[in-house]
Homo-oligomer: A and B are copies of this chain.
Amino acid sequence: MTNRQIVVAELPQGTLMPEHFRLEDTTTPDPAEGEVLLRTILMSIDAANRGWLNGPTYRAAVEAGDVMPTYAICEVMESRSPRLTPGDIVAAETVWADYVALPARVVQKLPPVRPLTHLHSVYGIAGKTAFHGLLSVGKPLAGETIVVSAAAGSVGGYVGQIGKALGCRVVGIAGGPEKCSFVTDALGFDACVDYRAGGVFKALRAACPDGIDVYFDNVGGEILETTLMLMNERGRIVCCGAISQYENTTPVGPRNLPGMLVVKRLRMEGFIVMDFAKDDAKAIRALQTWVAKGQIKVIEDVVEGLENAPQALIGLLNGDNRGKRMVRVGPDPEGSQ
């Protein structure tokens, strides 16, 4: 049985390009004792994937010749473990491939949620990252002002919608007028600043008349530097990602760090969604409540076909996506979209 897989042909220096990947045909693996054979249904495409190609992060570095790693929703096809049964829908750290064999103990059985795409978006990495980062690190209170960058992206859109549900003023930062309209009109943010239009400091100051209490940072770099200038005393900066730096071969640090932290007594803190796994059930219940009340809209951006995964990631790094991007490799066995 043929198994397609996408290998990292060469590690990128700077901008990620299609030639950094190679599609290969290989054979479908046989699960060993204790393992399961998984069929990939939906692969999550995240900015962090680009970071993995730069060196070790919270996971080992990806090397040239490796099959590209990913986080995916899969169907169990064969099981040599009592923990799982064929037909189970699971999530796991897998690779860009049609099939993969993994030890059953590293595979997580998923709840019976449909459509499956929601397990990557609002009830998956995107929604949980927004929830845990905002509530556990940012700790906003009603009436405070939250700013979030990459506001039209997967995490940013949920951060803003959760912030609104909590009674905060929410201001997004996004690239281009079309995205900014999406952020205010479709997602309901109070305002959105177009960083490509220039004059970000003035525009952000105008959009935040009471200053900024929580900045949820997905981008780092100059936007972080600008936002720091507008933070209120004892503000919190939630460090979720630094998409502006992943492809930057000459990174620049915010020049007002650490000075601004001292002067304004700011707290700046990084986190990874997995750190809060013990609170995932609470997060899901809250997110379900807001979805049911219509306070959170679920925006998904599904790219069809394993072979399109490289372009899906390249496009995401260029800001092409609206909402949570994922690649559909195969069908949901229950036939949902």
The complex places the Cα of A270 from the Cα of B264 at a distance, in Å, of: 7
| A251 on the B face (CB < 8 A) | yes
- We find that the number of chain A residues with CB closer than 8 angstroms to chain B is 36
Shortest Cβ distance from A201 into chain B, in angstroms? 16
Known: A225-B253, A253-B225, A253-B253. A265 touches B258 (CB 8 A): no
The complex places the Cα of A264 from the Cα of B269 at a distance, in Å, of: 10
Shortest Cβ distance from A260 into chain B, in angstroms? 8
Residues of chain B with a CB closer than 8 A to A127's CB: none
Query: When the two chains form their complex, are residues A258 and B220 in contact, meaning their CB atoms are under 8 A apart?
Result: yes
Interface residues of A in 257-300 (CB under 8 A from B): 257-272, 275
Query: When the two chains form their complex, are residues B263 and A257 in contact, meaning their CB atoms are under 8 A apart?
Result: no
Query: When the two chains form their complex, are residues B269 and A58 in contact, meaning their CB atoms are under 8 A apart?
Result: no
Shortest Cβ distance from A136 into chain B, in angstroms? 12
Shortest Cβ distance from A134 into chain B, in angstroms? 15
Query: When the two chains form their complex, are residues A258 and B224 in contact, meaning their CB atoms are under 8 A apart?
Result: yes
The complex places the Cα of A257 from the Cα of B270 at a distance, in Å, of: 10
The complex places the Cα of A254 from the Cα of B225 at a distance, in Å, of: 12
Interface residues of A in 172-216 (CB under 8 A from B): none
Residues of chain B with a CB closer than 8 A to A270's CB: 258, 260-267
| A256 on the B face (CB < 8 A) | yes
Determine how many copies of this chain the complex contains.
2
The complex places the Cα of A259 from the Cα of B241 at a distance, in Å, of: 7
Chain A 152-170 interface 0/1 with B at a Cβ cutoff of 8 Å (1 = within): 0000000000000000000
Query: When the two chains form their complex, are residues A265 and B271 in contact, meaning their CB atoms are under 8 A apart?
Result: yes
Query: When the two chains form their complex, are residues B269 and A268 in contact, meaning their CB atoms are under 8 A apart?
Result: yes
Known: A253-B253, A253-B256. A267 touches B269 (CB 8 A): yes
Closest B residue to A55 using CB positions? B263
| A73 on the B face (CB < 8 A) | no
| A139 on the B face (CB < 8 A) | no
- 19 pairs across A/B with beta carbons < 8 Å? A58-B265, A220-B259, A224-B258, A239-B261, A242-B258, A242-B259, A251-B256, A252-B253, A253-B254, A253-B256, A253-B257, A254-B258, A261-B268, A261-B270, A262-B272, A264-B270, A265-B270, A267-B267, A268-B269
Task: Give residues in A with beta carbon < 8 Å to B.
Answer: 51, 57-58, 217, 220, 224-225, 237, 239-242, 245, 251-272, 275
- Seed contacts A57-B263, A261-B269, A265-B271; 9 additional CB < 8 Å A-B pairs: A217-B258, A224-B258, A239-B262, A242-B262, A251-B259, A257-B257, A258-B270, A263-B270, A267-B268
